Structure formats: C-alpha cells, structure tokens
Amino acid sequence: MTKFEIDRSLVVRIMDDLSRYGSDGGTGITRTVYSPAWVEATDAYARWVEDAGFAARRDAVGNVWARLEGATDGPCVVSGSHIDSQTPGGRFDGTLGAVAALVAIRTLKEQAGTPRVPVEAVALCEEESSRFPAAGLWGSRAITGRIAEDDLVSVRDFDDIAIGDAMRAVGLDPARILEARRDDIDAFVELHIEQGPILEQAGFPVAIVKAITGIRHYQVVLEGTQNHAGAFPMDLRRDPMAGFAEIASGLIDTAHRWGRPAVSTVGRVAVSPNGTAVIPERVTFTVDARHPDPDSFHRLCRTHEAHMLEVAARRDLAIRWRTLIQFEPSPSDPAIVEALTTAAAIQGVPHLVMASGAAHDTQQMAQIARTAMVFVRSKDGRSHTPEEYSSLDDIVAGIEVLTAGLHRLAYRGESA
C-alpha cells in the first residue's frame, strides 16, 4: 500500500512562478491563448518539466507535455488541465491541474520508479474561450482530432484575428494541427478547483468527480407589441416583459424544486427598445440548463421548453429559440472513480463523490479515453475572478489523491 508524500514547497514554487505570467493586479491573471503572457507561461511550464527531469514536448497546437516512460509503450495514462485564464481570472482555475499533473509524475518517478505504462502530464493551451469565444476547448479538441480545417479561419478573437493567424504569430504551424491528435491514451484524469461551494459547505477538501454535467444554452426571443406605457391598459397589452418574468421565475423554480444537481440560470437579457415608458417589443434572454444524468438532462430541457411554449401561447407572445451550445453529460469511468476513491482512502484524504456542474477539458478527452476528475475545495465557491482561492493544504490533498490514483492506474494494472 504505497502512500505518497507531496513536496509542498515545490507546489508553491511552481504556482508562484506561473502566477507571474499575465499578472493583472493583485491575484488576478489575464492569460489568453497565444498571447505574450501565455507564451511566457508555457515556457515556464516547460522549464519546470525539465527541472523535474523530463523532456518538454510542445505539440502542434501549443499543449506542453511531460512523459514518464513506462515498461511498455502504452496505451498511457494522462493528467493535466489548461493554462489559459479568464480576463481576469485567478491563479488556480486550470493552472492548478497542469501543475498538479507535473508534480504527480515527478513524485511517481521519485517515489515509485518506472510505471507499467507511460504517465504524462499536460498543460492544455486553451479552455476558457476568453479570447476566441468559439474556441471550444481548443487544446483538448486538438488532442481528440476534433478541430476542422475551417476552424483555423472561422474561429476569431474580439479583434477579428483568426486563431490560425494567432498560432502563426507564436511560432506554431496551423497546417500541422492534426499532428496534435493522440490515439494512445487509455485514461485521462484532470485535477481542477471545484468552482462551487459544495465541498466547503460539506467540509471536505477534495472530491472525486463521478460525472460532468450536460449543458444546454438557449437563446430565446420573446416578442409582443411595443406600446405607450401610460396610454395602453394592462388588459390589452402583449407585454414580453411579463412573459419573460414568468418564464424566468418558472425555469429557476423548476431547477430549484428538482434539487441538486439540477441547475438553471438566466444570465443574459436584452430588451428592445429598452425605454422606461415603453412596453417592450422584444425581450431576448439566455437559459443555461444543466444536469449530469443523461435522462434527467433531457427531461429538464424538455420541461423548460414546455414551460416557455405554454407561457408564450397563453400570453399571445411570439417565441423562438436556438441552441447556442449543447454538451451531453459525461459520466466518469467507474474503474477510475474506484481507483481515485481507493487512492484517497490510502492517502487518508476525506472526500466526497460528486458531479461537476462546470464544463471541463475532460468532457472532450472522454471522446478518446476513459476519464474522471479530482476537485479541490474553492473558498466561497468562487472562480473566474481574482478572488478564487484554494488553500495549500487542500491543494496538496488533491495532488496526493491524483498521484496515488495515477499510481493505481499506471503501476498496478488498473488501467485498461
């Protein structure tokens, strides 16, 4: 029963170093893919890979890899997360998982020797869509071979720069992007901050993620008749604001009554013409609906759609919507969840088993590998803000679970 010791000061040194690149005041980080700060951060990650005694390999899309060779060639076990950030985000979202993976394989090499199959750590180039709104997990999509040639031109940043041109500007050749594809990965395990309050509320430092939520984003347009706010009696109005308010209340109430882990959010609203004394003509809004169980996810979406149609029909409003994104729920691999749970028990780390309500690179990696995740407690459940924070104790607990879990997968034959 191997128990691993994590070098706390190494974790601090790498995290502190990486927080310098894209520093955006205080604890803020603005580090979008293919920006100068991103180049510096990937260079720094590569230096830490080499400091750990591995060769740093950059693939065609800019992911940085470290490989602990195994007794056989594979299929291998991989861990990692993304190195880009929100604008500004904090120091932990993504970066912690890339660092944890590197610390884990260094620890394995030093404390467990050569694995049965190779174990790799990766800093993924892009996950946040914070520079290219349609990037869509660019780093992991390159690994799974899901980037179409057209994406290199059609995916553009807020200055209308094509992502292919942004790659060229940092020395990457977009024509070689297919070379980033991997077909030799058996298992992918991502460590990430929770980004929610569940661990903090429950009093646990770490969770094993049993599924990643399904997500559907609707953009809904609700239309009535614009009229004078004073001269038009209530009983003759076709007021889309009244319909919107009823719909938003209903969607939120439905998810609330379903209970965890169902969530639904109305985050974005635009009113036309948006005048104080004008009954609106149109209210456009988004609905974000999530559930990690496939059947429940589709039932939640159907319930919301039925509610929207019913309110619009009853109020004589026109309604239409389109789906902006849809990610199906991604259940974790039961054997990996079992390996991580056992690892946590061996390391003596108290843990929950829970679903992820956020999207992650792991969802993309699930297309080519068995997957699971490790969550580390977030202070106040915050993320996508400079205030996001996870304590060193919790981080080390998470890396212990990750390390011991990777050990079970790559050394003990629990892989494949």
The residue among 351 and 382 lying less far from a second copy, judged by its C-beta, is 382
d(CA 46, CA 331): 32
**Of 162, 126, 160, 131, nearest to 143 (Cα)?**
126
Minimum CB–partner distance for residue 94 and a second copy (Å)? 14
For residues 168, 85, 337, 351, the Cα torsion angle rounded to the nearest 10 degrees is: 160
Q: What span, in angstroms and rounded, lies between the C-alpha atoms of 131 and 32? A: 6
Query: Which of these ranges, 50-58, 238-246, 334-342, 364-372, lies near a second copy under the rule CB under 8 A?
Result: 238-246
Residue 191 near a second copy by CB under 8 A? no
- Judged by CB, which is closer to a second copy: 61, or 198? 198
399 Cβ contact partners less than 8 Å away, ≥ 6 residues apart:
6, 11, 100, 103, 104, 107, 191
Q: Which residues contact 16 (CB under 8 A, 6 or more apart)?
A: none
SS3 412: coil
Q: Determine the interface stretch with a second copy among 8-16, 229-237, 343-351, 399-407 (rule: CB under 8 A).
A: 229-237
360 is in an annotated binding site: no
253-282 positions binding a second copy, by CB under 8 A: 255-256, 259-269, 271, 274-280
Would you count residue 229 as binding a second copy (CB under 8 A)? yes
Among 25, 203, 236, 322, which residue interacts with a second copy (rule: CB under 8 A)? 236
Counting residues that bind a second copy (by CB under 8 A) gives: 65
Q: Is 284 in the site for a second copy (CB under 8 A)?
A: no
Q: x-or-dash pattern for a second copy, window 380-399, by CB under 8 A?
A: -xxxxx--------------
CB 255 within 8 A of CB 264: yes
Collapse the DSSP code of 23 into the 3-class scheme (helix H, G, I; strand E, B; otherwise coil) and give the result. Answer: strand
Return the residue of 217, 282, 370, 408 that touches a second copy, per CB under 8 A. Answer: 217
Pick from 72, 249, 323, 391 the residue near a second copy by CB under 8 A.
249
Q: Tokens 């799974």 correspond to what residue?
A: 144
Nearest distance in Å: CB 270, a second copy: 8
3-state SS, residue 19: coil
Scanning residues 320 to 339, which ones bind a second copy (CB under 8 A)? Answer: 324
Do the annotations mark residue 217 as ligand-binding? Answer: no
Report whether 82 belongs to an annotated binding site. yes
Closest CA to 265 of 241, 239, 285: 285
- 61 belongs to the binding site for a second copy (CB under 8 A): no
Residue 375's closest CA among 108, 92, 120? Answer: 92
Minimum gap (Å) between residue 299 Cβ and a second copy: 16
242 touches a second copy by CB under 8 A: yes
Q: Is residue 244 involved in binding a second copy (CB under 8 A)?
A: yes
Q: Render the burial of 325-351: b for 16+ CB within 10 Å, e for the rest.
A: eebebbbbbebbbbbbbbbbebbebeb
260: phi then psi, degrees, rounded to nearest 5: -55, 145
x/- track of binding to a second copy for residues 90-129 (CB under 8 A): ----------------------------------------
Q: Rule CB under 8 A: is residue 239 a binding residue for a second copy?
A: yes
* Interatomic CA distance for residues 283 and 274, integer angstroms: 9
Q: Which of 25, 203, 233, 348 binds a second copy (CB under 8 A)?
A: 233
Cβ neighbours around 133 below 10 Å, total: 11
Q: Which helix (H) or strand (E) holds 206?
A: strand 206-212
CA-based torsion, 310, 315, 319, 325: positive or negative:
negative
Question: Measured from the CB of residue 266, what is the shortest distance to a second copy in angstroms?
Answer: 5
Residue 101, SS3 per DSSP: helix
> Which H or E run contains 13?
helix 8-18
Stretch binding a second copy (CB under 8 A), from 48-56, 146-154, 172-180, 375-383: 375-383
Closest CB 222 distance from a second copy, rounded Å:
13
One of 59, 157, 194, 414 touching a second copy (CB under 8 A)? 194
DSSP β-bridge partners for residue 77: 119, 187
Q: Name the site residues for a second copy (rule: CB under 8 A).
A: 194-198, 201, 213, 215, 217, 226-236, 239, 241-242, 244-246, 248-249, 252, 255-256, 259-269, 271, 274-280, 283, 286, 288, 290, 324, 356-359, 378, 381-385
Binding residues for Zn(2+): 82, 93, 128, 192, 384
Binding residues: 82, 93, 128, 192, 384
